[in-house]
Structure 1
Amino acid sequence: TKEQLYQLKARLCGESIFKTGKAMADPTKMVVNLALFGTTQSGKSSAGNTLLGSADFHSSFAPCSVTQDCSLGRSCHLQSFLRRRGQEVALQVRVLDTPGCPHSRLSKKDVEQKVRDALEHHFGQEGLHLALLVQRADVPFCGQEATYPVQMIQELLGHAWKNYTAILFTHAEKIEEAGSNEDKYLRAAPDTLLTLLNSIQHKYVFQHKKEKSFNEQRMKILERIMGFVKENCYQVLTFK
């Protein structure tokens, strides 16, 4: 039967419907859990607000780190955002905002412990669908500081981190302002960034603030992210 075929496919893919029964109890609703990582002033909180369609996270320009604690935001349900098994499904996004690393007030060890505790508390049993490395498109990805968030993702997510990590490039409008485009930008990227992109199977998305309305920008990013989650067979990483 169709139901048996679906269950077989789900088992083969390790779909989260069997790992996170609470989140998937209602087949007309789906919850996707995301966590933001990045250096100070990379735009994590602003990106989180875009994903949520709200202003849950405090975001401002400052000469120091703004976010000092992890916080979880929940979006409203996006009706008919996708279809699964022939049904329209409402999507809710849960986003964990984290302190930047390196941080102007917290040590690397303190940041990692805060994030570890938050991942276990919020996504310990339901699981994490994707870690988003937030990287400014107008800041070169080079030097030891740029790799700190990547190292933290590797330590927190374990050996499977490559399957659960994507890059979110913020301030992508700067690329066009410089007379370039996304393809040229990536071709000219430093080896450290190209190596990282290869490791995570080229899972990336650009966030443009000027060319689209807030809602169009949000939908474009969410569609791309849901593509990554689907390609990953809706699998999740649990922390308990």
Structure 2
Amino acid sequence: MTNVNKMIINMAVFGSTHNGKSSAGNILLGSTDFYSSFDPCSVTKDCSLGHSCYLHNFMHQGEQEIALQVQVLDTPTYPHSRLSMRHVKQEVKKALAHHFRQEGLHLALLIQRADVQASDPVQLLQEVLGDAWKNYTAVLFTHAEKIEEAGFSEDEYLHKASDTLLTLLSSFQHKYIFQYKKENCREIKILERIMEFIKENHYQVLTLT
């Protein structure tokens, strides 16, 4: 009989309005834990923690099966249309410390629409995650199907990207993922890519205070 061990991965999602931050969190969890809808204003006002079911047969170490559970912290949009920047920073920092102080944070995902190269809330990441934030951050491009519709490959898209975005990706050691709306098993494919980033970090976590 195969022995089963359990592993919990802690993540947090950050992003601007209309980038699909809460929807991306739901995909990672394989659920609808986070409220997501179209709204001209920012939708998420409070931090919320979601848990996935344990994913069996996702990983193996020798003959030992690793059952993976994902925890995702959804954070308020930044900048927010209704909340002050100070309030958002305080709430996010408090939630990160409350949920991940003991186990640490494996990865922060900066959610960015592939079809809208807007400014990213890197100031929030810097202030709430500390000096080592770049080592524990990756970019998740939502609406990646728009790239295909425009006739571009992922490499061509990045070749034409703005200097700001390219500099950002370089600072993250080019840790990025493209999320396609109609992709089969997209949760598993994204999680496999995320686990590659975490393995590259030797499963180290960002300590939060």
| TM-score of the two chains, using structure 2 as the length reference | 0.96
Q: Which residue of 2 aligns with 1:122?
A: 99
**Mean Cα displacement is larger for which, 77-86 or 105-114?**
77-86
Q: Which residue of 1 aligns with 2:203?
A: 234
1:166 and 1:203 in contact (8 A); partners too: yes
Q: Which residue of 2 aligns with 1:59?
A: 36
Larger radius of gyration: 1
Counterpart residue identity of residue 200, structure 1: F
Residues in 1 aligned to 2:63 and 2:109: alpha-carbon distance in whole angstroms: 29
Residues in 2 aligned to 1:224 and 1:117: alpha-carbon distance in whole angstroms: 28
Residues in 2 aligned to 1:181 and 1:108: alpha-carbon distance in whole angstroms: 36
Q: Deviations over 1:151-180 (max 9, x none)?
A: 111111111111100000000000001111
2:4 and 2:65 in contact (8 A); partners too: no
Does 2:187 match 1:218?
A: yes
Does 2:85 match 1:113?
A: no
1:34 and 1:95 in contact (8 A); partners too: yes
Alignment of 1:75-224 (within 5 A): 75-84=52-61, 86-141=63-118, 146-147=119-120, 149-210=121-182, 212-213=183-184, 216-224=185-193
2:30 and 2:187 in contact (8 A); partners too: yes
Q: How far 1:66 moved relative to its partner? A: 0.6
**How many residue pairs get matched?**
207
Residues in 2 aligned to 1:39 and 1:234: alpha-carbon distance in whole angstroms: 28
- Secondary structure of 2:132's counterpart equals helix
Residues in 1 aligned to 2:26 and 2:138: alpha-carbon distance in whole angstroms: 18
1:40 and 1:99 in contact (8 A); partners too: no
Alpha-carbon RMSD across the aligned residues, in angstroms, is: 1.3
Q: Which residue of 2 aligns with 1:34?
A: 11
Residues in 1 aligned to 2:22 and 2:61: alpha-carbon distance in whole angstroms: 30
Q: Any gaps of 5 or more consecutive residues in structure 2?
A: none
1:135 and 1:170 in contact (8 A); partners too: yes
- Secondary structure of 1:117's counterpart equals helix
**Percent of aligned pairs sharing the same letter:** 67
2:17 and 2:77 in contact (8 A); partners too: yes
| TM-score of the two chains, using structure 1 as the length reference | 0.84
Alignment of 1:15-34 (within 5 A): 28-34=5-11
**Greater helix share, structure number:** 1
Q: How far 1:140 moved relative to its partner? A: 1.5
- Secondary structure of 1:184's counterpart equals helix
Q: How far 1:84 moved relative to its partner? A: 2.7
Counterpart residue identity of residue 208, structure 2: F
Residues in 1 aligned to 2:87 and 2:18: alpha-carbon distance in whole angstroms: 18
- Secondary structure of 1:28's counterpart equals strand
* Shift >6 Å, 4+ stretches: none
